[in-house]
Structure 1
Amino acid sequence: MTIPEPTDNPVDPAGALDQAGEHPAIARFRNELERRGGAGRIVVLPDSVHTAALAAEALGCEVGAIANSLLFAAGDQPVLILTSGAHRVDTAKVAERVGVPALKRAAPEFVREHTGQVIGGVSPIAHPAPIPTYIDPWLRKYDEVWAAAGHPAAVFSSTFDELVAMTGAAETDVD
């Protein structure tokens, strides 16, 4: 199956598949997931899921079990917030909690530069360099959570504890 790739992805604008039939962005994610000892499964959905509600519907889970990976800019430094799909990030409160002057929504170029991934497919791991990461404790309510797997149409299953272990994320309330 050919997975459409956003046209602004400099990594693979044609959306070509590797020899195993997997998109290179998903293959990179899979390798990093295995390297970090992740036990979850990767699911490639038939269409990109641009919202937590659409992802939850496609996966048959509650919207709160979707772990959105949101990259923010703290000046010129990235900050990754893993938040429940049931929450919106209050950037002023979170900035204060994590000790930065302000958090701004990151531009697509900033996201690609710091994650190697495109908006809508940003995963909690598999970035070119470590990113300070914070996790919404609300996700602890779910035995299984789902997060992006490096491509807008791919997600992976995990647990709250596994996400913390793989990312080094610190817990912080997001709203």
Structure 2
Amino acid sequence: MDSSGDTPSHWLRRLLLALIERFPRLVFNLYPPYWGTGIWVREISPDGRSIRVEMPLRFYNLNYYGTHFGGSLYAMCDPFLVWMADRNVGPGYRVFDKGGTIRFRRPGRGRVRVHFRLTDDQLAAMRAAADRDGKADVPLAAEIVDAAGETVAEVEKLLQVRRKDFVEPRPPGVPATGAGRADRR
């Protein structure tokens, strides 16, 4: 550890964040879980508000029935909406992934695609809700489609947008520091 208090893991994290900011498509495509399932980021708009992702059907991402494995379909959608919102909502906010659901509509065969988009109205609504309450849960949806444009699955992600200066209120009777420490000994 050097005099600034940075550990090697901090440097690695900073490097990764810098690479994602400068070369997001490359970093996503080289990420082992995506590379290993055949998930491919085809396009990221310069402002980060639009991302196109696709996945071909291969022997390593199919299920027992010869169609796309559901976990791989969900993985296609996992980080992108959070990354897009965090990058675009503004410097006074943080975005966290709170949950997600997938609803399968038909078996996925061949190449499947998903196009994520964030509009100015969606971003303004996120900021307004977080400004009003300090934090806000925001649902965003996307559709995974096949080559014919038929819906294979619908994905909904639940994001939490927080103001960076927001402090969660403590329940009554909980001390400001060391809460519960004596109980755990």
Identify, as 1 or 2, the structure richer in helix: 2
TM-score band, normalised by shorter chain? under 0.3
* Structure 1 length-normalised TM: 0.21
Structure of greater Rg: 2
TM-score normalised over the length of structure 2: 0.21
